[in-house]
Amino acid sequence: MWLGLTSQQGQLFIDATAPDGNDLSRAGIRIKPLGVVRTVEAAPASFINGFGVSALGQLCVAPGGVIANFHMGLPRTSDGRLVTQLNNAPFIGDSYVAGIRVGPLGGVYTIDTTPPVPTAWSSGFSNGYGI
């Protein structure tokens, strides 16, 4: 299971701004209170649980980057950043890896819009499964 919030299509919600005092840290990666993952387009300062992170704890990504290898089923650049594709709709045949959608050529599907606010009945387990 991925650390952040995903859309119903399996896109990972991201925010490319600096972390603030309201953020949580899940497995060393900064997450906004609604589950949006903080990202940065820079080479990793370190690796935590196999993910490249900045000195501030942001997940290091490469939108449209060249896939050099796959680690834990997720595409990576040669310096360890997660290869992503921003605001693209997933194809019906694209796979899920750890609860997020991954295109074989373009990388992890991400979205930078504000996620819907959970209702009192949201369990968090229905997200991404069309329930």
Per cent of the chain over pLDDT 70 is: 88
The residue ranking higher by pLDDT, 1 or 25, is 25
Chain mean pLDDT for the chain: 87
d(CA 59, CA 83): 11
pLDDT value at position 127? 52
Residue 123 CB partners (closer than 8 Å, separation 6+): none
Query: Does 4 map to a domain?
Result: no
Query: Does 35 map to a domain?
Result: yes
Eight-state DSSP code of residue 109:
E
pTM, two decimals, is: 0.85
Query: Does 46 map to a domain?
Result: yes
d(CA 97, CA 54): 23
Query: Does 116 map to a domain?
Result: no
Mean pLDDT of 90-111: 89
Largest Cα–Cα distance of the chain, in whole Å? 43
Query: Does 44 map to a domain?
Result: yes
Q: 46-92, pLDDT tens digit by residue? A: 999 889 999 999 999 999 999 999 998 899 999 999 999 999 999 98
Number of structural domains found in the chain: 1
Amino acid at 101: R
Task: Domain of residue 19: give its range.
Answer: 12-111
Q: 12-23, pLDDT tens digit by residue? A: 999 999 999 999
pLDDT value at position 130? 46
Query: Does 119 map to a domain?
Result: no
The residue ranking higher by pLDDT, 120 or 52, is 52
Q: 28-53, pLDDT tens digit by residue? A: 899 998 889 999 999 999 999 889 99
Cβ 74 vs Cβ 106: under 8 Å: no
Query: Does 122 map to a domain?
Result: no
Query: Does 31 map to a domain?
Result: yes
